[in-house]
């Protein structure tokens, strides 16, 4: 069962999702100052508006997450544009903030939770 932020469980995506075999490191925003180590989840899909990943525990709806994604074969140029190099040693790093908008027990791995996150901003270093 999907728990949507508005409780409806209805599909509300506005952007096409792309499947990726990557991992996402994430920390709840309130845990950043408490020196809590980041967690890792398996990225299921990503779009311009958000992403979905598998997590070991259910995140509370509305939780703000700081997430780090690494994309092998990509390079971020000085002007901020992403360039596909297709060289595995090149790794583009994306740091984003998002809000947990839905959580569901995984159909393929019932011990983990599919977690839908809507992007709310980027983190620049």
pLDDT at position 121 is 82
pLDDT at position 27 is 94
Average pLDDT over residues 31-59: 91
- Whose CA is closest to 62, among 11, 115, 24, 14? 115
Tens of pLDDT, residue by residue over 15-29, are 444 445 689 999 999
The H-or-E segment that residue 18 falls in is strand 18-28
Residue, of 5 and 107, whose pLDDT is higher:
107
For the chain, how many residues are written?
125
Handedness of CA 42, 114, 101, 47 (dihedral sign): positive
Give CA–CA dist 22/76, Å, rounded: 18
Average pLDDT along the chain:
84
What tokens appear for 44 in the block?
């299921």
Which CATH code fits 15-122? 2.40.10.220
User: Please, what is the end-to-end C-alpha distance for the chain in angstroms?
Assistant: 37
Kindly report the CA angle at 15 between 14 and 19, in degrees rounded to 5? 135
78 CB-near residues (< 8 Å, 6+ apart): none
Tens of pLDDT, residue by residue over 54-110, are 999 999 999 999 999 998 889 888 898 989 998 889 998 999 999 999 999 999 999
């Amino acid at each position: 069962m999907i728990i949507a932020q508005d409780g409806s469980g209805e599909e509300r995506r506005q952007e096409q999702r792309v499947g990726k075999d990557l991992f996402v490191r994430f920390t709840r925003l309130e845990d950043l100052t408490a020196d809590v180590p980041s967690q890792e989840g398996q990225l299921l899909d990503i779009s311009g508006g958000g992403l979905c990943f598998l997590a070991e525990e259910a995140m509370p709806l509305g939780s703000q997450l700081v997430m780090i994604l690494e994309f092998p074969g990509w390079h971020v140029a000085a002007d901020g544009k992403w360039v596909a190099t297709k060289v595995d040693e090149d790794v583009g790093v994306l740091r984003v903030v998002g809000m947990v908008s839905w959580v569901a027990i995984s159909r393929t791995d019932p011990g983990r939770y599919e977690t839908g996150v809507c992007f709310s901003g980027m983190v620049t270093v």
